Amino acid sequence: MPVALRWGDMDAYGHVNNVEILRLIEEARVRVIWRADVPGENLPTAMLDPGVGDVLTVVARLETEYLAQMPYSRASVDVEVWFGAIGGASFDMCYEVYSPARIEPRVLFARAVVTMVTVTAADGRPTRLPESCRAAWADYTEDPVTFTRRSRA
């Protein structure tokens, strides 16, 4: 999915800051799982209501691997998103952030896995993921991201 960069995403080194890459991933996540407030803009995976309700989704874990410096571009970067695992109250969302789709060569800038947990708003305890989410997300579940093995000294 295309996600736009902003001029302010650059840091003093002239590339998109690592924290801003996490914001790009966050934007993709919101589009994939939350219902849009504009008719006709929902993805088939958008099953959750944004904002505070009875059930919240919270980040439990985030792992990111940065593979190349991302220069600023007015063209939107291409963020590929899929589900790597769906558990009882949690799910893993996988991401690969690429250079803009129509610009060659295609460069993989970063990959990430975010583990989300559904919790009740009342007490913050984990609660079972709704069956509607499981059904909608099943067709978008693939093998999880494989990170490059870290060498240990």
| pLDDT tens digits along 91-137 | 999 999 999 988 899 999 999 999 999 999 899 999 999 999 999 99
Q: Is residue 134 part of a domain?
A: yes
Write phi, then psi, for 7 (nearest 5 degrees): -55, -40
Q: Which of 13-22, 47-56, 124-133 has the lowest mean pLDDT?
A: 47-56
Q: Is residue 151 part of a domain?
A: no
- Helix, strand, coil shares of the chain as percentages rounded to 5? 20, 35, 45
38 vs 59, which has greater pLDDT?
59
Strands across the sheet with 90-98, in order? 2-3, 77-86, 90-98, 108-120, 55-66
Q: Is residue 147 part of a domain?
A: no
Q: Is residue 78 part of a domain?
A: yes
Question: Considering the entire predicted model, what is its pTM?
Answer: 0.90
pLDDT exceeds 80 at position 51: no
- CATH number of 82's domain: 3.10.129.10
Cα–Cα separations (whole angstroms), residue 45 to 4, 14, 86, 130, 132: 21, 35, 13, 13, 10
- Of 106, 130, 108, 132, the C-alpha closest to 118 is 130
Q: Which residues pair with 110 in a beta bridge?
A: 66, 97
In the chain, pLDDT over 90 holds for what percent of residues?
Answer: 67
Total domains in the fold of the chain: 1
In the chain, pLDDT over 70 holds for what percent of residues?
Answer: 97
> For residue 50, what pLDDT is reported?
75
Q: What is the pLDDT of residues 61-73, one digit of tens each?
A: 999 999 999 999 8
Structural domain of 18:
2-138
- Of 5, 13, 3, the C-alpha closest to 73 is 5
Q: Is residue 144 part of a domain?
A: no
Map tokens 């993805």 to a residue.
Answer: 43
Q: Confidence band (pLDDT; 50, 70, 90) for 152?
A: low
Q: Is residue 111 part of a domain?
A: yes
| 94-100 contacts, C-beta under 8 A, 24 or more apart | 94/142, 94/144, 94/145, 95/25, 95/28, 95/29, 95/145, 96/145, 97/21, 97/24, 97/25, 97/70, 99/70, 99/73, 100/2, 100/73, 100/75, 100/76
